[in-house]
Amino acid sequence: MNQNAHEPRSLPVPGTDALAASEALVALVRDEIAAAGGWLPFDRYMERALYAPGLGYYSGGARKFGLRADDGSDFVTAPELSALFAATLARPIAQAMAASGTRALIEFGAGTGRLAAGLMTALAALGVEFDSYAIVELSGELRERQRETIEALAGPLAQRVRWLDALPDQFAGVALGNEVLDAMPVKLFARTQGVWHERGVATAADGSLTFADRIVGSDGMALAEYDAAALAAMDTEAAADIDYVTETHAAAAAFVRTVCTLLQRGAAFFVDYGFPRHEYYHPHRAEGTLMCHYRHYAHGDPFFHPGLQDITAHVEFTAMAEAGVDTGADLLGYTSQARFLMNAGITDALAQLDPADVAHYLPAANAVQKLLSEAEMGELFKVVAFSRGIDKTLDVFARGDRSHSL
């Protein structure tokens, strides 16, 4: 029996076809475990669970984004909550385009396409000239959904959208990743009685997948430079005498590094949930941040129907800032989502709605409250931005910038 799987029995039961796809993915992982000698690092498992062609969560056909479990979705993102998120985000993007003299946008993992449609519509309303909106998306199902959404909501502006299978070699303009970094594979490490172990995945006697730990340095296993530095940071930040489980983020840092390298001129914005290093590796976070999402339920079992649920980890933003700056890009700013959106004018945008129109105003006000509230997304979510060719900071980072905390 999988000792780490608590089998969240209250969760909805997948359909027959979905279960068959999940079982096929488990069989694929079992074969890979056997070929690797009986153990896979967790980041490899997470990569397969999310992105295995045709079977992974993001590469398969299951619906991901939505408002409720009964629509078949697993979680909701800010652009789905409120159109005011995109309308507000358009303002700092417009300033970044003007400051850098660029006319293009690129988005990574565009979800349903609502953010793209909202941004293009808002930029057009602001009188901002832009030539193209590129979307890097691996999922065929999401591409089609994005196309339908953008055509329905953005009208003729949809003709400026093009889809890419991979990152371009170079780019001038504004790059955007909303809840992308948290879906990058992470390594898991566990410190037990002062000894660090890398937590991987093995096959249990009954054929299920289970966690399996290996002492760091055993069997000739050497740490990558990034992970060695992260473990050293953990020993500094987290009390050394407690047992501790956490993640390292080499894949996300490498992605930020790549984006900032290809950015010739302009800005790159990343919006996600997480903490700076001194908070991320705090002793109170001794169980790590790994989390799974299925039908709007959050739980901690990454082996529950692999391929049918999202697997995420909070972002360690100090590492992201270091990765971007290491390329020679400037750290444009880092702040909470609440401060970012308020500086960008989301409350002014809400005030333009008619409170007497209760059917429209109340849902909009409730959504903005969720985006801004410290108890909801306002404090947990952060915005970090990098730039090239922008001489001054943007207005959105003029107040409440937390770059000093990284």
pLDDT value at residue 8: 53
pLDDT at 117: 98
Closest to 333 (Cα-Cα) out of 260, 243, 394: 394
Report pLDDT for 228: 87
Three-class SS state of 338: helix
Question: Is residue 223 domain-resident?
Answer: no
Q: What is the pLDDT of residues 361-384, one digit of tens each?
A: 999 999 999 999 999 999 999 999
CB contact set of 354 (below 8 Å; sequence gap of 6+): 360, 361
Judge whether residue 271 has pLDDT over 60.
Answer: yes
* 310-324 pLDDT tens trace: 999 999 999 999 999
Let me know: does 190 contact 212? Beta carbons within 8 Å. no
* Residue numbers of the domain that contains 153: 78-183+252-280+313-405
The torsion angles phi and psi of 184, rounded to 5 degrees, stand at: -80, 140
Q: How far apart are CA 279 and CA 283, in angstroms?
A: 9
- Locate 140 and state its tokens: 């065929």
Euclidean distance between CA atoms 204 and 113, whole angstroms:
40
Question: Over 80: is that where the pLDDT of 296 sits?
Answer: no
Which amino acid, one-letter code, is at 170?
Answer: Q
349 in any annotated domain: yes
pLDDT over 90 at 70, yes or no: no
Predicted TM-score (pTM) of this structure: 0.92
Q: What is the pLDDT of residue 74?
A: 54
pLDDT at 234 exceeding the cut of 90: no
3-state secondary structure of 236: helix
Is the pLDDT assigned to residue 62 strictly greater than 60? no
pLDDT range class, residue 1, cuts 50, 70, 90 = very low
- Total number of domains in the chain: 1
Residue 38 lies in a domain: no
Q: What is the pLDDT of residue 68?
A: 45
294 in a structural domain:
no
Amino acid letter for position 403 = S
The more confident residue out of 222 and 349 is: 349
Between residues 60 and 178, the one the model is more confident about: 178
Tokens 């479990």 correspond to 69
Residue 145 domain flag: yes
**Would you give the distance in Å from CA 231 to the centre of its chain?**
22
The count of other CB atoms within 10 Å of the CB of residue 187 is 24
Q: For position 64, what pLDDT does the model report?
A: 53
**What number is the average pLDDT over the span 151-161?**
97
Backbone angles phi, psi at 302, to 5 degrees: -75, -5
User: Given a cut of 90, is residue 34 above it in pLDDT?
Assistant: yes
Q: What is the mean pLDDT of residues 37-49?
A: 97
| Sheet hosting strand 310-312, strand order edge to edge | 297-299, 291-294, 310-312
Tallying the residues shown for the chain, one arrives at: 406
> What value does the mean pLDDT take over residues 237-243?
79
pLDDT at 72: 47
CB atoms within 10 A of CB 354: 8
Band of residue 218 on the pLDDT scale cut at 50, 70, 90:
confident
pLDDT mean over 316-333 = 98
Listed ranges 218-232, 234-248, 292-306, 324-338; the one with the highest mean pLDDT: 324-338
Axis crossing angle, helix 250-262 with helix 317-326, rounded to the nearest 10: 30
- Assess if residue 380 is contained within a domain: yes
219 falls within a domain: no
Query: Which range among 70-84, 132-146, 202-216 has the greatest average pLDDT?
Result: 202-216
Q: Is the pLDDT assigned to residue 397 strictly greater than 60?
A: yes
86 with 119: CB under 8 angstroms?
yes
**Read out DSSP for 188-208?**
EEEEETTEEEEEEEEE-TTS-
Predicted pLDDT of residue 114 = 95
Tell me what the mean pLDDT of segment 28-41 comes to: 97
Return the sign of the alpha-carbon dihedral for residues 301, 6, 77, 153: positive
Q: What is the mean pLDDT of the chain?
A: 91
Q: How far apart are CA 202 and CA 79, in angstroms?
A: 38
Strand partners, 177: 270
Q: Which tens digits make up the pLDDT trace of 90-111?
A: 999 999 999 999 999 999 989 8
Examine residue 300 and state whether it is found in any structural domain, yes or no: no
CATH of the domain at 149: 3.40.50.12710
Q: What is the largest CA-CA distance in the chain?
A: 69
In angstroms, the first-to-last Cα distance of the chain is 42
Predicted confidence at residue 9, as pLDDT, reads 55
Contact 120, 154 (CB under 8 A): yes
CA distance 406 to 404: 6
pLDDT surpassing 70 at residue 192: yes
The reported pLDDT for the residue numbered 140 is: 81
